[in-house]
């Protein structure tokens, strides 16, 4: 497991805390997922109050506040500052939304906000696209982690641009990367890990499942399987079939 700003997580799964049927289901899902990080929106915490914050603390995982719902750099920076004061952490998942329908990140606002927050000592996890130029600018601004989207938030489509994601992973091999958003099935998470990404972050796929607890466990197993497969050095892809049974010893008629 790669370090995230010097922190080695116990699991490659990061899980959101919104949309669960009940606080009890949320807690049970986290236990089954074995997630090492809980993402929390400042708006979510403010709406639920002290009871929700107590629940999150009881999960015993690292908290990653996010700037969900922000549509400008100024709004995201203000939200991040408030989150640091409330959650007592320099970690921040930086979202600056640029498109209402797709929820695609605004690359210009994202870079502007990341530059400000990194200068203020935040450890920024930027929600970005697979654009390599933007990735390089975010790293130059001080980010040490990248969080490219798999697909639009909440869509469940999986990895929309596999080629772009592979190219991004190859271009920055030493940068910790988390696939964030758009995953709907455990197979999507396994796919991301097999491609060489270091973790996945999801919320709706678990929270909106018919059985969130069972789905959380399924994602935990999928992330583990994907990482094991990647580390096992998978066989190469071939254009033609190759027999698995040796020809030596075959009876010739």
pTM: 0.89
| DSSP-derived secondary structure for 12-64 | SEEEE-SS-S-HHHHHHHHHHHT-SEEEEEHHHHHHHTHHHHHHHHHTTSEEE
pLDDT at 51: 77
- pLDDT, tens only, 55-82: 888 888 899 999 998 999 999 999 999 9
191-209 pLDDT per residue, tens: 999 999 999 999 999 999 9
Cα-only R_g, the chain: 20
> What is the secondary structure of 72-99 as a DSSP string?
SHHHHHHHHHHHHHHH--SEEEE--B--
pLDDT score for 247: 62
In order of start, what are the domains of the chain with their CATH numbers? 3-232 (3.20.20.70)
pLDDT at 130 exceeding the cut of 70: yes
Confidence of residue 43 (pLDDT cuts 50, 70, 90): low
In whole angstroms, give the CA distance from residue 135 to residue 137: 5
- What's residue 63's pLDDT? 93
pLDDT of residue 251: 63
Binding-site residues from annotation for 1-deoxy-D-xylulose 5-phosphate:
154, 181-182, 203-204
State the catalytic residues. Answer: 93
- Mean pLDDT for 142-163 is 95
Return the pLDDT at 215: 96
Query: Which tokens in the block code for residue 106?
Result: 């605004």
Q: To 5 degrees, how large is the angle CA 107–CA 113–CA 118?
A: 120
Q: What percent of the chain has pLDDT over 90?
A: 75
pLDDT at residue 188, as a whole number:
97
pLDDT class of 21 with cuts at 50, 70, 90? very high
Q: Tens of pLDDT along 79-100?
A: 999 999 988 999 999 999 988 8
Q: Give the residue ranges of the annotated binding site.
A: 154, 181-182, 203-204
d(CA 96, CA 76): 6
Phi then psi dihedrals of residue 65, to 5 deg: -65, 150
At residue 235, the pLDDT reads 84
Q: Is a pLDDT exceeding 60 seen at residue 134?
A: yes
pLDDT band for position 143 (50/70/90)? Answer: very high
Provide the pLDDT confidence category of residue 151 given band limits of 50, 70 and 90: very high
* Cβ neighbours, 10 Å, residue 211: 12
**Would you state the pLDDT for residue 131?**
96
Average pLDDT, the chain: 91
Residue 181 has pLDDT above 60, yes or no: yes
pLDDT at 20: 93
**4-18, 41-55, 100-114, 143-157: least confidently modelled range:** 41-55
Q: What is the pLDDT of residue 2?
A: 74
């Amino acid at each position: 497991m790669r370090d995230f700003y010097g922190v080695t997580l116990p699991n490659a799964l990061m899980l959101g805390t919104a949309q669960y049927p009940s606080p009890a289901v949320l807690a049970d899902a986290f236990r089954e997922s074995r997630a090492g990080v809980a993402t929390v929106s400042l708006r979510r915490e403010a709406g639920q109050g002290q009871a929700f914050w107590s629940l999150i603390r009881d999960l015993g995982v690292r908290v990653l506040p996010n700037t969900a719902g922000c549509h400008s750099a100024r709004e995201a920076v203000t939200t991040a500052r408030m989150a640091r004061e409330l959650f007592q952490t320099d970690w921040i998942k930086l979202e600056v939304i640029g498109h209402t329908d797709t929820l695609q990140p605004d690359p210009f606002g994202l870079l502007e906000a990341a530059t400000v927050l990194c200068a203020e000592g935040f450890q920024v996890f930027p929600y970005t696209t697979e654009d390599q130029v933007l990735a390089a600018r975010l790293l130059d601004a001080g980010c040490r982690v990248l969080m490219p989207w798999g697909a639009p938030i909440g869509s469940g489509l999986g990895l929309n641009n596999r080629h772009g994601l592979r190219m991004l992973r190859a271009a920055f091999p030493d940068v910790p990367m988390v696939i964030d958003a758009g995953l709907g099935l455990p197979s999507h998470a396994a796919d991301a890990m097999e491609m060489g990404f270091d973790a996945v972050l999801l919320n709706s796929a678990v929270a909106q499942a018919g059985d969130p607890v069972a789905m959380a466990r399924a994602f935990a197993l999928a992330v583990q399987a994907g990482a094991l497969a990647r580390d096992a050095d998978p066989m190469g892809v071939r254009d033609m079939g190759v027999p698995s049974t040796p020809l030596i010893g075959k009876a010739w008629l």
